[in-house]
Amino acid sequence: MASLDPDDWTTFRALGHRMMDDMIDRLAHARDTKVWTPLPDPVRQAFHAGLPHHGLGAEAAYAAFTARIAPYASGNTSPRFMGWVQGGGNPVGMLAELLAGGLNENCGGRDHVGLAVERQVIAWSAAMLGLPVSTGGLLVTGSSIANFIALLCARRRHLGTTVRHAGLAGAPLVGYAQAGVHRCIPGAFDMAGLGTEALRRIPVDAAYRIDLAALEATIVADRASGLDPFLLIGTAGAVDVGAIDDLTALAALAARHNLWFHVDAAFGALVALSPTRCHLIAGIERADSVAFDFHKWAQVQYDSGCILVRDQQWMLDTFAQQASYLTTTTRGLAGGAPWPCDLGPDLSRGFRALKVWMTLQAYGSDRLGTIVDDSCALAQRLATLIDTTPGLSRLAPVPLNIVCFRYDDGGTDLDAFNEALVADLQIAGDFVPSTTTIGGKRAIRVALVNHRTTSTDIDALVEAVLAAAYHRRDGSPHSSL
């Protein structure tokens, strides 16, 4: 057998050390480089080369990485990356990825330490949110799949075991969430065979929280018309403005109407660790299931999402399968049941848990809670700056870490203008905000998630937006307003 291991470990070790130094340097200088650099055409072209039948060696592969990959990353390690809701990663998490790669664990099942680590991360997560010890869970790619798994558990509970062999068989299931629900929720209804129309999108109130009266009226009307309500989804940290539904009220409503109560807390779950804002997600401890991400506000490397289900038995009832070559035993490596492959859809699974576990071990949950508080304080600072700066107009309340605003000099082209402004900032490499639409108006959306961002970055962002706006309007320096 021609092993893939190097003939000369000494040379390989030197290369490994160089890679490590380069990546540590990169993090140490996360503030000093452009946030994002668009991929130049020749570089893009180079990625159309065919399958390499003959390898060039590790040195050449790393040279290609240094020249053609590293300079063009998306930039979310930068303190000035404020687009969408993306975590900045952390140094310990980076090294943990190396360690996990070294062990190369398959965490689909069997009795080994990777599963013990993952179970501890799940137990910590449940404790963080106030869920009981019966809680089961898995680390998955992200909240998109976590929300999908929750929907499947809710469907299985509602329809019984029949759904696993007979399918939906025309059952008229309907579920509920607020109008600002993340795109992956209708996506989950689609993938589960319910169809996106089975998701009822309930209007929000002035604070962008689900309108409870409209919700209850819709449930009652649906049931009266022969539909079968089965699932209520609360949102903790809505994508557009960061609003958190009244989860206590939703838990009571779900109990009253016999609905599975799921919370999409993709980034909002971390508010549980905030000393000043944890009250905002009160009620999450009553959820039947929660989806959230470690790769966003918890700063763990991508990808690391998490699904928690209040009673692990529902995961087993939904996903467990019999296969003779996967039979569990009480002795040997085939022990340790139940296995993760019986709690969710994946069989082979990487050691995702290690980077989460090491991040929590190294920094502690209090430190993450402080980051949540700091992000929210930066959002308040930005909101105040916008409110006191002529030419800038805030478009939504700021309950958490997201600020929606736009440049507004009374022009008639403000939607297109602000869209172009955001692209200008991104292409210049100075800042990466993103955009959304609030009340029909195109907005600049700033989501403060990165642990490296400081008040200096916030002040500089406002300056940069104004400078870019004046430049785009007439090239005059920024001071004319």
Ligand X SMILES: *Cc1c(COP(=O)(O)O)cnc(C)c1O
In the bound state, the residue with its beta carbon closest to ligand X is 142
Quote the CA–CA distance of 36 and 80 in Å, as a whole number.
10
**Minimum distance between the CB of residue 400 and ligand X, rounded to whole angstroms?**
11
**Pattern 404-443, binding to ligand X, x per CB under 6 A?**
----------------------------------------
Please give the angle made by the CA atoms of 311, 314 and 316, to the nearest 5 degrees. 115
Q: Does 344 bind ligand X (CB under 6 A)?
A: no
By CB under 6 A, the residues from 171 to 190 that bind ligand X are: 182, 184
Q: Does 210 bind ligand X (CB under 6 A)?
A: no
* Chain-centre distance for alpha carbon 179: 19
State which residue, 184 or 446, has the beta carbon closest to ligand X: 184
Please state whether 440 falls in left (phi above 0), alpha (psi between -120 and 50) or beta. left
The token pair that represents 439 in the structure block:
């009340």
Quote the CA–CA distance of 228 and 169 in Å, as a whole number.
13
Strands 305-309 and 392-394 turn out to be unpaired
Question: In this chain, which of 204, 266, 281, 443 binds ligand X, going by CB under 6 A?
Answer: 266
Q: Does 240 bind ligand X (CB under 6 A)?
A: no
Q: Which stretch binds ligand X (CB under 6 A): 107-115, 139-147, 391-399, 452-460?
A: 139-147
Quote the CA–CA distance of 155 and 230 in Å, as a whole number.
7
**Pattern 145-164, binding to ligand X, x per CB under 6 A?**
--------------------
**Minimum distance between the CB of residue 337 and ligand X, rounded to whole angstroms?**
29
Q: Which stretch binds ligand X (CB under 6 A): 43-51, 92-100, 263-271, 394-402?
A: 263-271
Q: Which stretch binds ligand X (CB under 6 A): 112-120, 225-233, 259-267, 401-409?
A: 259-267
Question: In this chain, which of 260, 267, 297, 405 binds ligand X, going by CB under 6 A?
Answer: 267
Identify the residue whose tokens are 């013990």: 116
By CB under 6 A, the residues from 49 to 88 that bind ligand X are: 85
Q: Which residues contact 216 (CB under 8 A, 6 or more apart)?
A: 253, 257
Burial class (CB in 10 A: 0-12, 13-18, 19+), 480: exposed
Q: Does 239 bind ligand X (CB under 6 A)?
A: yes
Quote the CA–CA distance of 446 and 84 in Å, as a whole number.
7
Check: CB of residue 293 under 8 Å from CB of residue 142.
yes
Q: Which residue type occupies 65? A: F
Q: Determine if the peptide bond prior to 338 is cis (ω within 30°).
A: yes
For residue 139, report the phi and psi dihedrals to the nearest 5 degrees.
-90, 130
Q: Does 142 bind ligand X (CB under 6 A)?
A: yes
State which residue, 142 or 399, has the beta carbon closest to ligand X: 142
**Minimum distance between the CB of residue 297 and ligand X, rounded to whole angstroms?**
10
**Minimum distance between the CB of residue 138 and ligand X, rounded to whole angstroms?**
14
Q: Is 463 helix (H, G, I), strand (E, B) or coil?
A: helix
State which residue, 76 or 143, has the beta carbon closest to ligand X: 143
Question: In this chain, which of 77, 90, 135, 143 binds ligand X, going by CB under 6 A?
Answer: 143
Quote the CA–CA distance of 460 and 451 in Å, as a whole number.
17
Q: Does 97 bind ligand X (CB under 6 A)?
A: no
Would you tell me which residues interact with ligand X (CB under 6 A)? 85, 142-144, 182, 184, 237, 239, 264, 266-267, 293, 305
